Structure 1
Amino acid sequence: MKPVRRPFLTARTRIAVAFGGIFLVLGTALLLTVNLLSRAGTQERATTIARNAVPVELVRPGERVSAWTAYRISGDVSAAASQQMIMWSAVALFVTALLAVGVGWWTAGRCLRPVQGAFESQRRFISNASHELRTPLAVQRTAIQVGLDGDPSPEELAHVRTTLLEANRRSERLIDGLLLLARSDRGLERRDSLDLADVVSEETAAIAGRAERAGVRVSVRSERAPLRGNRVLLGQLAGNLLRNAVEYNHRGGEVDVIVEPGRLVVRNSGPVVAAADIPALFEPFRRGQGKERLCGGTGLGLSIVQSIARAHGGRASAAPNRGGGLRVTVEIPAPGRE
C-alpha cells in the first residue's frame, strides 16, 4: 500500500495565500484604474488651463511665460505627482496584502478548526471501527481453525460453538452501536413530548436483573422532567449510562440515579478513574478499567451518550468520585429553557 502524500501547503495556508493574492490583484487593478483616470483628468485639465492662459509676467520685468511653457510645467508637476502616488500606493498595497494574508490565516483557522477536527475524528473513528470489527472475526477464524482441527470431541465442539456465538453477539452489538451513533449524529428529525423520569424508570427496570446478578444496588431519586425529544434515543442514552454504571462496578457497589428537570445524573462506585482519562472515555472504542476486551462492551457507550445529548441540544460531562467510580451528568434543555 502506497503511503498517502500530504499536500505541500495545508488548507489553512492555501486559504491565507489566496486571501492575499486576491487582495493584491484587486488592489493593483483598483490603483491602476485610479492612477490612469487621475492622470488623464489632470492632463486634460492642465491642457485646458494652458490654452486659456494669458502670458504671465515674472519677477523680472519683461520676462513672460508662454502657454506652451505653462503646459509643460503643469505636465511635469502632474507626472511627478503620479509617480509619487504610484510609489506610495504600491508600498501601501504590499503592506495591506501582508495584512490580508494574516487576516486570511486567522479567519481560515477559525473556520477550519471544527472541520479539521471533524475529519480527524472521522479518521480515528474509521480506524478504530476497522480494528474492532477485525477482532471478533479473528476470534472466529481462530476458533474454527484450532477448535475444529482433526477430530474434535463434543466438549471442544461446545467450546467452539460458545466462542463463535459470543463473537457473533459482539459483532452485532458493535454494528448496532455504530448505526445508533450515526443516527444520533445526524440530529433529530422529529421531537415528541415526554418525561425523562418515565424513560429512566423503564430503563432502570430493564437492568434490574443484571444489577442483581452483579450484586450492585441501584437507587433512583426522580421528579418530573418534561422535555421534547426522541424516546428511542433517550432510552438508549439512559440505558447506556445505567449499564455502564453496573458493569464498571464491584460486588456490593452502588448506583445512584438523579432525575431533575433538564438533567440526569448517574453516579456509580467502582475502580478509581483519573481525571485526565475522562475526556478519552467519550471517544469511540474507549473502555474503562476492569473489563475484559471481548467480554465487555463495545466501547461506544459514552460516545453514544454524548452524541444523543448533543442531538437534543444538550451535553454530557463526567467527573471522578472520591474513592472510585464515576459521576456522569447529562444536561438537556427543558421546554422554555432552550
Structure 2
Amino acid sequence: MRPISLRVRLTVVYGALFLLAGLVLLGVTYLLFNQEVTRIFENKYGDPDGGDGRNRRFLSIMLDGVPLSPEASLALIRQQEEELRSAALTSLIVQGVIALAVVGALAFGLGWLVAGRVLAPLHRVTATARRIAAAPIADRGLAARIALEGPLDEVKELADTFDTMVERLAHSFDGQRRFVANASHELRTPLTLNRALVELAMHRRTASTDVKQLGESLLEINARHERLISGLLLLARAEHEIADRSQVDLADVVTHVVGQTAPEAEQEKVTVHEEAFPAPTSGDALLLERLVMNLVENGIRHNTHDGTGWVRVSSRTAAGGQVTVTVTNTGPAVPPYDIPELFKPFRKLGGDRLVTGKSAGLGLSIVRSVARAHGGDVVARPREGGGLIVTAMLPRATTWNP
C-alpha cells in the first residue's frame, strides 16, 4: 500500500481544523441566538407571576377579531417564540452546513496549495539528494547544491546544512583521490630505481647464477608493484568526469586491442574471435582502450588453458542511443552472487584479496570507473557452461565525422 504523502496529510489536517472551527462557530452562533431570543421575549412578555418583582406588560391580542385573554395572548406569543427558534435552528443547520461545506471545499483546495508551497523547498532537498544518490560513482553527484533562497527558517536551515555536508563530502573525496594519485606517482620513482639497480646487478659479468635467479624474482615482484601503481593511477584518473572528449569508434579500439593481446592469448592457448561492428562514441581514447584491454585480458587470463578456451569480443550499436562492447569467454563457472565482488578493487571469486604477477586486482574496477566516467555502465552475467559475459554500455555519439 502506498503511504499517504505529507502534503495530503497537511491538507487533511488543515481542512479538518477548518471544518471543526466552522462547526464550533455554528454551535456558538445558535446558542447566542437562542439566548438572545429568550432574553427579548422574557423582558417584553414575561410571566406576570414570575416573582421577580418587575412590572410586566399585559397584552390583549385580537385573533380573528376576537380579543384574547392575557394568558392566551402570552401562550400565543410563546408559540411564536418556539416557531421562530425552530426556524432559526433549521436555517442555521441547513444553510450553515451548506455554506460550511462550500467554504470547507475551498479550504481544502487552499490547504493543498499552501502545503505544496510550504513543502516545495523539501522537494528540492529530496531531488538533490536523489541526484547525488543516483550518480554512477559515489562522488560524481557531489557538485549538486540546493542553494535555497528565502528567509532563514527551519527549511532553509535544513537546506544549508545539507549543502554544507555535501561540500565537506566532496572535499573529502577530492582529497582521497589526490592522495592516491600523489602517492602512486611518488612510488613510481623508487620502483624504477629498484628495477634499474636489479638489472644492473644481474648483467654484471661476475654475477652468479643465484644472483641472476634472485634478480629475476625481484624484477617480477617489481613489475607486479608497477602494475599495481599504474592501475591505481588509472583508477584515480577514471573516476573524474571526462571533460575533453574526442570521437572514438569502438570497432577500431576492439581491432587494436585484439592485435595487442594476441601474444598473450597464444601463450595461454586461448582463441580470440573478433566481431567489430561500428560503434561510434565520444570520450578519452586512451581510457576507452584501457576499458576494452582490461575486458579482453580478463577473459584470456580467467579461462581454460588446455587449448579449448576462447574469447569473443564484439562491438555494435544498440537500441536506445547506446553502443556496446561485449566480451564473452569460456572458463570456470561463476556463481551469480559472486559477480558484484569482481568489480571491487583487489577482489577475486570468493571475496579474497588478489594481487598476482599478471593482475593487480583492479581490472574490472577500472572498467566500471571508465564506463561511468563516460556516462555509461558495465554489467556482467554468468555464461552457461562457464565463464562470463561482460557488456560495457556507452552513450552513442550524437554527431559523427569519420
**TM-score after normalising by structure 2:** 0.48
1:294/1:223 Cα in 2 relative to 1: closer, same or farther (>3 Å)?
closer
1:243 to 297, 302, 310: 297
- One-letter identity of the residue aligned with 1:301: G
Other-structure match for 1:187: 241
SS of aligned partner of 1:278: helix
Q: Do the aligned residues in 2 keep the contact of 1:248 with 1:288 (CA within 8 Å)?
A: no
Higher relative contact order (CA 8 A, sep 6+): 1
SS of aligned partner of 1:302: helix
SS of aligned partner of 1:332: strand
Deviation, 1:328, is 0.4
Other-structure match for 1:327: 389
1:111/1:227 Cα in 2 relative to 1: closer, same or farther (>3 Å)?
closer
Other-structure match for 2:312: 256
SS of aligned partner of 1:257: strand
- One-letter identity of the residue aligned with 2:284: N
Q: Distance in 2 between matches of 1:241 and 1:221?
A: 15
Q: Distance in 1 between matches of 2:398 and 2:229?
A: 36
Q: Distance in 1 between matches of 2:134 and 2:397?
A: 28
Q: Do the aligned residues in 2 keep the contact of 1:278 with 1:319 (CA within 8 Å)?
A: yes
Q: Distance in 2 between matches of 1:184 and 1:325?
A: 26
1:177 to 218, 226, 231: 231
Larger Rg: 2
Other-structure match for 1:318: 380
1:170/1:255 Cα in 2 relative to 1: closer, same or farther (>3 Å)?
same
Deviation, 1:224, is 1.2
Deviation, 1:171, is 1.2
1:226/1:161 Cα in 2 relative to 1: closer, same or farther (>3 Å)?
same
Q: Distance in 1 between matches of 2:231 and 2:287?
A: 12
1:166 to 206, 220, 229: 220
Deviation, 1:112, is 7.8
Q: Distance in 1 between matches of 2:250 and 2:375?
A: 15
Mind listing any 5+ residue stretches in structure 2 that lack a counterpart?
Answer: 1-39, 45-52, 55-114, 140-168, 199-206, 318-322
Q: Do the aligned residues in 1 keep the contact of 2:354 with 2:360 (CA within 8 Å)?
A: no
Q: Distance in 1 between matches of 2:246 and 2:398?
A: 15
Q: Distance in 2 between matches of 1:250 and 1:168?
A: 28
Q: Distance in 1 between matches of 2:333 and 2:301?
A: 14
Q: Distance in 2 between matches of 1:211 and 1:182?
A: 28
- One-letter identity of the residue aligned with 2:331: G
1:209 to 263, 277, 286: 263
Other-structure match for 1:303: 365
1:162/1:309 Cα in 2 relative to 1: closer, same or farther (>3 Å)?
same
2:280 to 226, 234, 239: 226
SS of aligned partner of 1:287: coil
SS of aligned partner of 2:344: coil
1:197 to 251, 257, 260: 251
SS of aligned partner of 1:271: coil
1:233/1:326 Cα in 2 relative to 1: closer, same or farther (>3 Å)?
same
1:275 to 315, 333, 336: 336
Mind listing any 5+ residue stretches in structure 1 that lack a counterpart?
Answer: 1-56, 64-95, 145-152
Q: Distance in 1 between matches of 2:275 and 2:296?
A: 14
Deviation, 1:159, is 2.7
- One-letter identity of the residue aligned with 2:310: E
1:224/1:276 Cα in 2 relative to 1: closer, same or farther (>3 Å)?
same
Q: Do the aligned residues in 1 keep the contact of 2:224 with 2:358 (CA within 8 Å)?
A: no
